[in-house]
A and B are shown apart, each in its own frame.
Chain A
Amino acid sequence: MNTSHSTEQSFSPRGPIIVFSALIVLTIATVMLSGLDVGNTGALLIAMSVASVKAALVLYFFMHLNHEPLIFKLFVALAFVTLATLFILTFSDYAFRGIA
């Protein structure tokens, strides 16, 4: 999929359907796991981990990052690292409110 000129490539729905099935399985799994009594942090952790895996599947296969050159992956990593940094530093305030 790295060039748009490859008209010869044949249509095969197998790969996307496998990814889709994995996504559905994960969705059902996260709904079922939400019923577990693991406390707030545990529930949040499980839900966010599953969501991250799902998002990674969509990014990597559906959005074709697997076929893109390295620079695309670096850019995506930079965007997510930025977002994660903003979260961590914001919570360096809220996690310690009223403590010190």
Chain B
Amino acid sequence: METANSTNYFNSHTGTRWTSGFMSWITSTDHKRIGVMYGFTMFAFFFLAVCIGFLIKLQKFYPAASGWEIIPPEWYGSFFTLHSVIMIFLFIVPGAPAILGNFFLPLQIGAKDVAFPRVNLLSYWLYLFGAMMAVVGILLGGADTGWTFTPPYSVTTRTISLFGTEFDSVSWMLTAAFILGWGTILTGINFIITIHRMRTKGMSYFKMPLFSWSIYAASWIQVLATPVVGISLLMIVLERVMPVGFFDPNKGGDPILFQHLFWIYSHPAVYVMILPSMGLVSEIIPTNSQKPIFGYKSIAIASCSIAGVGYLIWAHHMFASGMSDIASIIFSFLTFFVAIPTAIKVFNWIATLYKASIALTPPMLFALGFVFNFSIGGLTGMFLGSLSTDIHLHDTDFIVAHFHYTMFGGAAFGIIGGIFHYFPKMFGKMYSHKLANATFALMFTGFNALFIPMFVLGFYGMPRRYHTYPDIPLFTNLQQASTIGSWILVTGVVLMFITWIHGLRKGQASTEENPWNSSTLEWQTASPPTLYNFEEDPVVTRHPYDYEAFRAEVKAGTSKGARDE
């Protein structure tokens, strides 16, 4: 690194006897190094899953009846399972907390590290181990259960490895998911305690930046929901090895019970995915508007109430699965409550933009893209939360589109925007804004071109998880539009990696602390941050988004602002 004369987290580290090289990273307990390691690992898996998604969409370019075969029909299930397992369990659930939460939560609240640094490293190892297990398992046997592992199919399906031997890759992957779960639980515990115990002087709860608030809400979900799915996944393993018949209706079991247990976790888990991204957007928008975020407290409280309400609505995934009508009505009713805090956030972001001097930096573009995509994703969620429309739309491409609008257009855009936002702080270098803007243009166009046709397809009855479709112009045209969208999107993703790698290797080295002129605490440390984050423990006196006070501080020289201002 260029900044050799200062001690930053690249050339000094904690908790390991290795002084340099690979081992000093993989055994480091420094939250910044762990965050960076998560970043590299997760985006590698992300790219793998994007490639698989690309193949899945390519298969849909022509109906199979025309002889078009990119993926053999018998492998199609394994392909979308691999895509979803990697994207969900290895990227989007742990993504924002593990990469940006690890790196910036302690910085935002003025702490030296997380509460339990060694546990933090253990989380990373668990993640790495579980991730390898999942990928190896699926390569050895392929699992075609979908990421939901719904019985009875997940109990009865038998898989054959690439070498023709019988290999139980479903059990293997369930175990991997269980291990990954422990990684996220420990991260959640770490963050909750960090926030409760390690805020610097003056950093009261309502002076914390909103990203920290969103991480806090998400961490509670990780702690209190993940064990439930962990045990239900292990019950599937048990059923495969020692069948008692827990989820087998022929033996008095109830397959819907598994769906309950699964969604008890997996519905709140979608808020683990989206909340940190909402937090990142709440950082990016006021920074690039240079004014206080509208309704700070309501956004903080909305994060917590989304997490709370998120526990009450899981069975809206199960309206078509045969649970009692009364439960369906209760869960449909409760589902609408989650729209309230979510809408509060969207309104607050838009109100922040009102009469602001908006700088359309690359992270801001992604944040605005997030608001647009997420609004579509959230509103189509209302269709699915209503009982009668859900019966029509259930298990169609409409759901796939809705899910991707919230998770890719929403959560992933938030993470990517967050990385563009924090890149100069993390690495002390600036990427090319031209490349970054082109990345956004391609990803945003490609994403919408890919998934808007899927809404229509789903509405006309195209089932999800199908290898092919009837050869009629309505379907073929929409499928081809969608596939072409996927090409644009994949180009955007590749360009994103090029932008980052180019930024890391050839980016303009800059020790500028606060290139975006942001008022929150994490920008006051050096770029890249020093080993202990702050030279001396910072004392917080003002609101995190008080731009007037911030500008006065910059003028007085007590805070660091953007240098070209």
Contacts and interface: CB of A to CB of B under 8 A. Distances in A.
Partners in one complex: yes
Contact of B315 (A85, A93, A98): A93
Interface stretch (B4-12, B321-329, B518-526): B321-329
A96 B326 contact: yes
Interface string A58-100: 0000000000000100000011001001100110111111111
A86 B264 contact: yes
Contacts of A82: 224, 311
A82 B264 CA distance: 11
Contact of A93 (B220, B260, B311): B260
B323 A93 contact: yes
B37 interface: no
Interface residues of A, number: 17
Interface string B295-326: 00000000000000001101100000001111
A97 B256 CA distance: 12
A94 B326 CA distance: 10
A97 B326 CA distance: 9
B326 A99 contact: yes
Contacts of A98: 324
A96 B324 contact: yes
B312 A92 contact: no
Given A92-B330, A99-B326, A85 B311 contact: yes
Contact of B327 (A71, A79, A86, A93): A93
B324 A79 contact: no
B324 A100 contact: yes
Contacts of B315: 89, 93
B346 interface: no
B400 interface: no
B196 interface: yes
A94 B318 CA distance: 13
B106 to A, nearest CB: 20
Choose among B196, B311, B324 the residue with the greatest number of A CB atoms under 10 Å from its CB. Answer: B324
B205 to A, nearest CB: 12
B230 to A, nearest CB: 14
B228 interface: yes
Given A86-B228, A92-B330, A96-B326, A71 B196 contact: yes
Choose among A82, A93, A99, A100 the residue with the greatest number of B CB atoms under 10 Å from its CB. Answer: A93
Contact of B324 (A71, A78, A86, A94): A94
A89 B313 CA distance: 9
Given A85-B311, A86-B264, A79 B224 contact: yes
Contacts of B311: 82, 85-86
Interface string B479-502: 000000000000000000000000
B336 to A, nearest CB: 16
Nearest to B313: A89
B219 to A, nearest CB: 12
A82 to B, nearest CB: 5
Contacts of A85: 311-312
Interface in B63-99: none
Contacts of B330: 89, 92
A97 B254 CA distance: 12
Contacts of B323: 93, 97
5 contacts: A78-B220, A89-B314, A89-B330, A93-B323, A93-B326
Interface of B: 196, 220, 224, 228, 256, 260, 264, 311-312, 314-315, 323-327, 330-331
The 3 A-B residue pairs with the shortest CB-CB distance, nearest first, are: A93-B327, A96-B324, A96-B326
